[in-house]
Homo-oligomer: A and B are copies of this chain.
């Protein structure tokens, strides 16, 4: 093994994991490094945030997925620096030498320079934030039930989602289901159906990456679930009392104690260090500009895939930060490395195959743009169900989980609506602080 080509993969999200799996039978030595011990099925994270799924149902331990892959080892650690000339990655605990490196460390929530907002508006990113959001949502109803002042009660019953991309729309739909169906009999002083769900976006329409007719269908479906869509509004402030927005007609304050951030992402912290050491260009979201082989110009042994990479399709259009792009990118990087190791010179540029786009809105309701076919309502939802079923089954033989979830979903049952971390759930702000503190704390040598 010692003389084998060493492939180091940073991150075990869709990009990193697909790269590792594509190397299963390759004559290389693979090291997968992630600061979490689990792979997260991020597209269903909003279901954890709304209490329909437990974290364990959308995450799978990395070691488990790769257990039978004997050429692969897994390290629980995080890259903090890189020496591209010495071909070494610096972790918290050790230095790892590579022959080929695949960087797939993903993205994190971006507040466009207003990081202080994250305290009041957690991003839909990672399990900790999803749990924080769940606390906030459920605790808001609990508070409204206790408070008699009408204005204050309304502020607890007003939910603001910033960003109307797929995540924001899916979250608003799930929240609408909760307010109108799941919780409808639970309270004595309030009617959860009176909750106001606001979805804000600066664009002209929701789901701006989808075809226009599907945006309209999605909007109609969301409104049926009691959500209000407000486009062309710009968030100018977020604090404990709500959101201030700039609309085409002026400024406005929305009183709310529950604001959720689904607006933008930026490359993970390691990106900055990578750009500094390699001189790689970054685009405004902090993503690393890569060439047609998904490598950093001048460093053919360093691949960047997934949300961390800025790449374009054959027509020069930037590729979106979605799971599909990461999966295909990871697999491409792996195959390219294998070809090089085998001396095969026939290496083609990365060619992204776009299967389409999906967003679910509620029970039996979604929009889908599949191979150019526009679907909405139940047909779109069934496509969505099928696609997700396939992915989940691929990662773990956890088909029963999925059936269970489909069952709970269809019966509007409550899956995992727990406010954990106990009594301080009464102080959602502290929770957010707790969550972000834990996210930013660095692992120590043990």
**A contact residues vs B (CB 8 Å cutoff):** 35-38, 51, 53-57, 59-61, 63-64, 67-68, 73-76, 78, 92-93, 126-128, 131, 138-139, 142-143, 146-147, 183, 185-188, 396-398, 400-401, 403-404, 407-408, 411, 413-427, 434, 438-439, 441-444, 446
For A445, the closest partner residue in chain B by CB is B426
Inter-subunit contact B401/A424 (CB<8 Å): no
Inter-subunit contact A443/B417 (CB<8 Å): no
Given contacts A142-B76, A185-B68, A400-B404, contact A36 B444 (CB under 8 A): no
**Copies of the protein in its oligomer:** 2
Given contacts A76-B142, A187-B63, contact A446 B427 (CB under 8 A): yes
In angstroms, Cα B318 to Cα A144, docked, is: 43
Extra contacts besides A61-B414, A423-B443 (15): CB < 8 Å: A35-B422, A36-B418, A37-B142, A37-B418, A37-B425, A38-B417, A56-B416, A56-B417, A67-B185, A73-B188, A78-B423, A421-B438, A422-B441, A424-B443, A427-B446
In the A-B complex, the 5 residue pairs with the smallest Cβ-Cβ separation, listed nearest first, are A56-B416, A54-B54, A54-B56, A426-B443, A63-B186
Which residues on B sit within 8 Å (CB–CB) of A93? 146
Inter-subunit contact A418/B127 (CB<8 Å): yes
Complex A-B: 19 CB contacts under 8 Å: A37-B138, A37-B425, A38-B417, A56-B418, A57-B416, A60-B414, A61-B186, A64-B414, A67-B186, A73-B188, A76-B139, A76-B425, A92-B426, A397-B413, A401-B404, A423-B438, A423-B439, A423-B443, A424-B441
Which residues on B sit within 8 Å (CB–CB) of A414? 60-61, 64
Which residues on B sit within 8 Å (CB–CB) of A51? 56
Give, as a whole number of angstroms, the nearest-CB distance from A135 to chain B. Answer: 10
Inter-subunit contact A75/B37 (CB<8 Å): no
Given contacts A35-B423, A446-B426, contact A59 B185 (CB under 8 A): no
Which residues on B sit within 8 Å (CB–CB) of A76? 139, 142, 146, 419, 425-426
Which residues on B sit within 8 Å (CB–CB) of A36? 418-419, 422
Which residues on B sit within 8 Å (CB–CB) of A64? 186, 414, 417
- Most B CB within 10 A of own CB, among A147, A187, A418: A418
Which residues on B sit within 8 Å (CB–CB) of A127? 418, 420
In angstroms, Cα B408 to Cα A186, docked, is: 32
In angstroms, Cα B61 to Cα A68, docked, is: 39
Give, as a whole number of angstroms, the nearest-CB distance from A426 to chain B. Answer: 4
Inter-subunit contact B54/A416 (CB<8 Å): yes
In angstroms, Cα B439 to Cα A420, docked, is: 10
Give, as a whole number of angstroms, the nearest-CB distance from A191 to chain B. Answer: 13
For A38, the closest partner residue in chain B by CB is B418
Contact with A438, one of B59, B408, B411, B424 (Cβ below 8 angstroms):
B424
In angstroms, Cα B188 to Cα A60, docked, is: 19
Inter-subunit contact A400/B403 (CB<8 Å): yes
In angstroms, Cα B235 to Cα A442, docked, is: 34
Which residues on B sit within 8 Å (CB–CB) of A128? 420-422
Give, as a whole number of angstroms, the nearest-CB distance from A225 to chain B. Answer: 20
Which residues on B sit within 8 Å (CB–CB) of A397? 411, 413
In angstroms, Cα B420 to Cα A131, docked, is: 10
Give, as a whole number of angstroms, the nearest-CB distance from A345 to chain B. Answer: 33
Give, as a whole number of angstroms, the nearest-CB distance from A124 to chain B. Answer: 16
Inter-subunit contact B143/A446 (CB<8 Å): yes
Given contacts A400-B400, A404-B400, A416-B54, contact A63 B183 (CB under 8 A): yes
Which residues on B sit within 8 Å (CB–CB) of A38? 417-419
